[in-house]
Each structure stands twice: as structure tokens, then as C-alpha cells.
A and B are shown apart, each in its own frame.
Chain A
């Protein structure tokens, strides 16, 4: 499972000459650590990283705030068509979104958002089915007594959600945040559709675009660049592995 990563790692530390050597050698000799700073300089890595961070962080914030708020209404408040609407949430989670791609592109075009980072994160601010489902489960799992007490103290439903219920669901919020991060940090389809100028590329797309521009002799840089883009998500994963697993589980057993 892990070994292919090691061969890529070794390749990323080779000199041009050794990288192109035939037949290939496994270990880099000499080890050229400077491939990493050099690719950072040669490509617009600062820009790509900043774009990826912007998209990821705004998505996480939007997902946490909007999905949890919508989920709280589904979990605790009675309103017309609640159950129908929740069935729709479940339905859109299961039914693939392939038919919405083209009209969504046209909507974003009409809103003047093409070739901006906006289409990559705005929808997260309008509640995502997976996040709504996950957070609803979390709210249903907390005892009502706390909320009753807040109600008696005169809190309105939003205040109860914000001050009482939300702080009690931190593990699920973490799962949602991490899952959103993973999806957005790695996303390729949406940037490929919406972004045309190089300075707006996110990391995965930016690194790939270099392949077209640098022909020959620079491949070891590309491998190094790709592995750099893995570092942030790898760190988050190693720190919070159980939330990844939890997220994978609830996304499967929806």
C-alpha cells in the first residue's frame, strides 16, 4: 500500500540525469533535497497553496455553520414540509449530481463568478446533504434537557442551537470539517471546469498544469510538487485519524 509512495518519494529526490536514467535506479544518489525548494520557487506554489487554503477554509467554515444550522432545524424544530424536505436531503445525497453540472456552470457564469474561486466554495455555505445528515444525527443524540433549560431561560431556537446544542456536537463538527477539507483540498473536477487562469489554480490542478508547460527534464520537480501538496492533509490525517474513519463510515452508511 505504502511502497508506491516510497518509489515516488525517491524519484522526487533524484537529479535530472538520474531521474531519466535507463534502466531505472531505486535510490536517489546523490539525494537532491533542493528539488523541493526549487519547485516551490519555479512554479507559483505560493499562489496555488494560498488558493487551495482559501477554498478549503471557506468551505469548512461554510459547511460547519450552514449544515449544522439546517440540521438543527431538521432535528429539533417542527415546520411545514420538514419531513418531505429531509427526504429530499437524503435523496440528493444518494442521487448523483451529474445533471446539475452544466446548468450550475451557466448560473455561475451569469453571476460573473467564472475564473474566480467562488464556485469552488459558495455552495458549502448553503448546506450540504452529507453535512446536514451527519449533524442531524449528532443533534438527535444529545439529551433534550439542556435545550429545555435554555428555552425556559428565554432563549430563542437560534440561540439554543448556537449556545447549547452546537458546542455539544464538537466531534461531529470535527468529522464534517475534516471531510470537507479532504474533499476540497483534493478536488479536481470543479477547478478544471471553473478556473482558466493559472494564478487561480488550486494545488492539484496547478501541479498538473506544469506537466503541459515543462516538457522533459523537470519531472522530478513535478513529483516533489505533488508530494508537497500531500503534506497538509497527511498531517491532519495523522493527528485526527479517527475523524477520517468516522467520516468515511457515515458517508457510506447514509
Chain B
């Protein structure tokens, strides 16, 4: 469309090996400016991403307390992990939290997004209300959740007692702590996910609904037969993204299970809500077992990488860019 030579240079054809010496091309004015403008990120990447990743891999094969230089111990940290009941507990808790959180949050976000996609009055207020937990810090959320789940004066127990049921200890109950954390995480995160679904719903052509209506489909059928299949790409993306972030949950559990009172109490009661990020933090920044903490980080990274890889492979096929 545009015959401007500047744009023509961007075409793949012009990326073929250049007859002029490469070095000369590299050092032309534009190339120098490019390198100069991109240099902050270059520094960021080289020092704070590439170097640190390699350092962390190296630490994971050492004993390192930050006072003495790292001492190479081979696979001992990974060996220790296999024998560490707390690691397995943290892994189990992390998976339990994720398996509970992700499907519930996704389903709820989809339903809310479909409801919100109708052109009704007062929607802006509705959307704002759903987004307020998203913009709140976990500190705010923790106190808001406390007004409900506090065993002494929370509304959850007030309700249970009105119904003639036994009051619960909620976050102090080994069985209940993760379900309660999940309930709060759903409430905080559903608005964010809803926005992603709303973006996906914009791409569903309206005439498909009209066609379905002509064929006699009701609202429920339209949802299952038109909406759900057509936004499967968004759904998939949202599932992967929230799985990745759920595996890295630190702030919520740290804040809501008493980490600020006493770091080692975070993840309680009796480590019933100890997740991998919390174990990493505890080993690294409380006990200064930097080697062991790095090994945990790498295992967590490899788990997350599998999800990221699946997403990257399938993203091209599924996701539509504007």
C-alpha cells in the first residue's frame, strides 16, 4: 500500500544477507540509535534476568547462607527436597489451591461477563463494583475478609449461628483454610478475569446469535452452543494465566495467614496453607538457605514453564489480536 522506501526496508525481502560488509551495516546511524535507546532494557535483561537466572541455577547446586561463599554440593538440595515432607505438603497445598480456585473463578467470570455484555442501564456501576476488589491491595482485602471470617465477630459465623449451626474457625481450621482463601481469591480476582472475557465476547459476531435465535435457540442454548465454543480461545488463555499466577500466590497467603505477625506462622495453621512461594520465602529469607530456596524456585519455574509452553504453542491458534 505504501511505497515509501522507509517502510519497504521493513519487508522481509530486505532482510536477506546484505552484499555490503555486515559490520558497516551494524554501525550505521539508525543501528547505533537503536542500540542506545534499547540499552536500558538490555542492561535489565543481562544483569537482572539472564545473569540472575544463571546465578540461581548455580546456587541451587550449592549450600549458600550469604555470609560464606557458596559451596558446591551437587544435587543435595534436590535430594533434600524429595525427602522434605514440607516440600511435598507445600506442593500438595499449591495444587489443591489452584485446582479449586481456577475453575470456580473462570466459570464465575464467564457468567458475569456474559451478563455484563448485555446492553443494560447501570452497567458501568456494576463493572466498577466488580473491579474494586481488583484494585485493592491484599492488605485491604485481608481486613475486609476479616469482617466476614473472623471467628469472633465475623459475619460468616453470625450466619451459621442464626441457622443453628456450629461456628467455625475458618482461617484457623486446617480443613477450611484453603477453601476460605480460595473463596476470597475468587472474590478479589473475578473482576479482572471478567474484563478479559468481555474483550473476548466483543469478537463474537452478533449475527451468530441472531441465526441461533431464528433456529429457535433459547438463552441457555445460545450460551452453550454459541458463546462457549466461540470464546474457547479466551477461556483457554485465562485458564493458563490464572494457573500460572495461582502457583505463584504469595501475598494473599502471607497476609491472610498471619505472616506479618510472625513470618514462620504464615502458611498456618500447622502448615495447612503452606504453598511453594511461602516455603521459598521461608527457606531463603528467614533461614537464609539460599541454595535450597533456589532449588525450590527452579522446580516451581519448571512447573510454570510447562504451562507457559503450552500457552505459547497454542496461543497463535486460539487468540485473536485486534
Q: Which residues of A contact B (CB under 8 A)?
A: 1-2, 4-5, 7-8, 10-11, 19-24, 66, 69-70, 72-74, 77-80, 82, 85, 88-89, 92, 94-107, 109, 123, 125-127, 132, 144, 148, 156-158, 161, 182, 185-189, 192-193, 203-205, 207-209, 211-212, 222-223, 226-227, 229-230, 233-234, 237-238, 241, 244-245, 248-249, 252-253
The 5 closest A-B pairs by CB, nearest first: A79-B34, A127-B41, A186-B137, A126-B44, A103-B52
- Contact residues of B between 33 and 47, Cβ < 8 Å to A: 33-38, 40-45, 47
Contact B195 A99 (CB under 8 A): no
Contact B262 A212 (CB under 8 A): yes
Residues of B within 8 A of A104 (CB): 48, 52
Contact B305 A95 (CB under 8 A): yes
Contact A7 B143 (CB under 8 A): no
Contact A77:B255 (CB < 8 A) given known A104-B52, A182-B135? no
Instruction: Give the nearest-CB partner of B200 in chain A.
Output: A253
Contact A144 B4 (CB under 8 A): yes
Shortest distance from the beta carbon of A126 to any chain B beta carbon, whole Å? 4
Contact A253:B237 (CB < 8 A) given known A21-B153, A156-B33? yes
> 1/0 per residue B121-156: CB within 8 Å of A?
000100111111111111110111111100011110
Interface 9-residue window, one of B72-80, B98-106, B206-214, B246-254: B246-254
State whether the Cβ of B117 lies closer than 8 Å to any Cβ in chain A.
Answer: no
A80 vs B22: C-alpha distance when bound (angstroms): 10
Residues of B within 8 A of A209 (CB): 260
Contact A99 B196 (CB under 8 A): no
Residues of A within 8 A of B319 (CB): 253
Contact A241 B248 (CB under 8 A): no
Most B CB within 10 A of own CB, among A109, A234, A249: A249
A253 vs B187: C-alpha distance when bound (angstroms): 22
Main secondary structure of the interface of B (DSSP, over half): helix
Contact A79:B30 (CB < 8 A) given known A94-B311, A96-B304, A208-B139? yes
Contact B33 A157 (CB under 8 A): yes
| Interface range for B | 35 or more
Select which of A80, A97, A100 is within 8 A of B35 by beta carbon: A80
Residues of A within 8 A of B129 (CB): 1-2
Contact A73 B37 (CB under 8 A): yes
- 18 A-B pairs with C-beta separation under 8 A: A1-B130, A1-B187, A73-B38, A78-B9, A79-B34, A85-B42, A88-B45, A99-B53, A99-B294, A126-B48, A186-B135, A188-B254, A192-B281, A204-B138, A205-B139, A244-B131, A248-B134, A248-B192
Shortest distance from the beta carbon of A83 to any chain B beta carbon, whole Å? 9
State whether the Cβ of B96 lies closer than 8 Å to any Cβ in chain A.
Answer: no
Shortest distance from the beta carbon of A95 to any chain B beta carbon, whole Å? 6
Most B CB within 10 A of own CB, among A92, A94, A185, A189: A94
A245 vs B198: C-alpha distance when bound (angstroms): 10
Instruction: Give the nearest-CB partner of B305 in chain A.
Output: A95
> 1/0 per residue B275-304: CB within 8 Å of A?
001001100110000100110011011001
Contact A102 B293 (CB under 8 A): yes
Residues of B within 8 A of A211 (CB): 260-261
Given A103-B56, A226-B140, A245-B195, 18 other A-B residues pairs in contact with their CB atoms under 8 A? A5-B132, A7-B148, A20-B153, A23-B161, A24-B158, A78-B30, A85-B38, A95-B305, A98-B297, A99-B297, A227-B140, A227-B143, A229-B139, A234-B132, A248-B196, A249-B196, A252-B241, A253-B319
State whether the Cβ of B185 lies closer than 8 Å to any Cβ in chain A.
Answer: no
Contact A208:B260 (CB < 8 A) given known A126-B48, A248-B192? yes
Contact B48 A99 (CB under 8 A): no
Contact A208:B255 (CB < 8 A) given known A1-B187, A79-B35, A158-B37? yes
A97 vs B248: C-alpha distance when bound (angstroms): 10
Residues of A within 8 A of B43 (CB): 126
State whether the Cβ of B51 lies closer than 8 Å to any Cβ in chain A.
Answer: yes
Instruction: Give the nearest-CB partner of B155 in chain A.
Output: A7
> 1/0 per residue B296-322: CB within 8 Å of A?
011011001100100110000001010
Instruction: Give the nearest-CB partner of B149 in chain A.
Output: A4
A92 vs B124: C-alpha distance when bound (angstroms): 34
Shortest distance from the beta carbon of A102 to any chain B beta carbon, whole Å? 5
Shortest distance from the beta carbon of A208 to any chain B beta carbon, whole Å? 4
A88 vs B41: C-alpha distance when bound (angstroms): 10
Residues of B within 8 A of A241 (CB): 124, 127-128, 131
Contact B139 A5 (CB under 8 A): no
Shortest distance from the beta carbon of A18 to any chain B beta carbon, whole Å? 10
Contact A4:B135 (CB < 8 A) given known A69-B37, A70-B37, A107-B47? no
Instruction: Give the nearest-CB partner of A250 in chain B.
Output: B199
State whether the Cβ of B59 lies closer than 8 Å to any Cβ in chain A.
Answer: yes
State whether the Cβ of B267 lies closer than 8 Å to any Cβ in chain A.
Answer: no
Residues of A within 8 A of B33 (CB): 73, 77, 79, 156-158
State whether the Cβ of B6 lies closer than 8 Å to any Cβ in chain A.
Answer: yes
State whether the Cβ of B110 lies closer than 8 Å to any Cβ in chain A.
Answer: no
A1 vs B258: C-alpha distance when bound (angstroms): 24
Contact B47 A234 (CB under 8 A): no
A233 vs B238: C-alpha distance when bound (angstroms): 25
Shortest distance from the beta carbon of B30 to any chain A beta carbon, whole Å? 5
Shortest distance from the beta carbon of A250 to any chain B beta carbon, whole Å? 9
